[in-house]
Copies of this chain bind each other. A is one copy, B any other.
Amino acid sequence: MKNVSLDDATKLVETAKNKAEEIEVPMCIAVMDAGANLVAFERMDDALLASIDIAQNKAFTSVTLKLDTQTVHEVSQPGESLYGIGGTNSGRIVTFGGGFPLTDGDTVVGAIGVSGGSVEEDIEVAEAAIDRFAEL
């Protein structure tokens, strides 16, 4: 596998959406491919409008840095090594959790970004999709 397909992406969105419904928090869910281009996106009814951008850019951040965004949160703090990285890439780097790379072994083949709840909730929903991806 070299790249996330639409078929993969819709399964990940579906899985994330099911988890978000289970914890009763409306979310935005975005999947990007290895080229940092959007494959699929869904906004659940009543999800925060700010999350349309944030979910996509969590995915962008994870695929372009090959990092989950809670790691970016740590390394972007004042005094830390990548302080200020949030201002790069025209402001598309998100510095808090909810974005994860999708990997095929060692290779990053895409990313998922989730936004709409607390950071912990976003991570929980994204991780459900990551687990599903391992089974595809």
Which residues does A use to contact B, with CB under 8 Å? 2, 5-7, 9-10, 33-45, 48-50, 52-54, 57, 61, 63-66, 73, 76-79, 81-91, 93-96, 118-119
Contacts and interface: CB of A to CB of B under 8 A. Distances in A.
Task: State the oligomeric state as a number of copies.
Answer: 4
A61 B66 CA distance: 24
A2 B50 CA distance: 19
Contacts of A33: 35
A50 B93 contact: yes
Contacts of A89: 50, 53-54
A61 to B, nearest CB: 7
A43 B40 contact: yes
Nearest to A95: B84
A33 B119 CA distance: 26
Given A37-B52, A65-B48, A66-B48, A79 B77 contact: yes
Nearest to A119: B81
Contact of A37 (B49, B57, B85, B95): B49
A11 B36 CA distance: 25
Contacts of A50: 61, 64-65, 88-89, 93
A10 B42 contact: yes
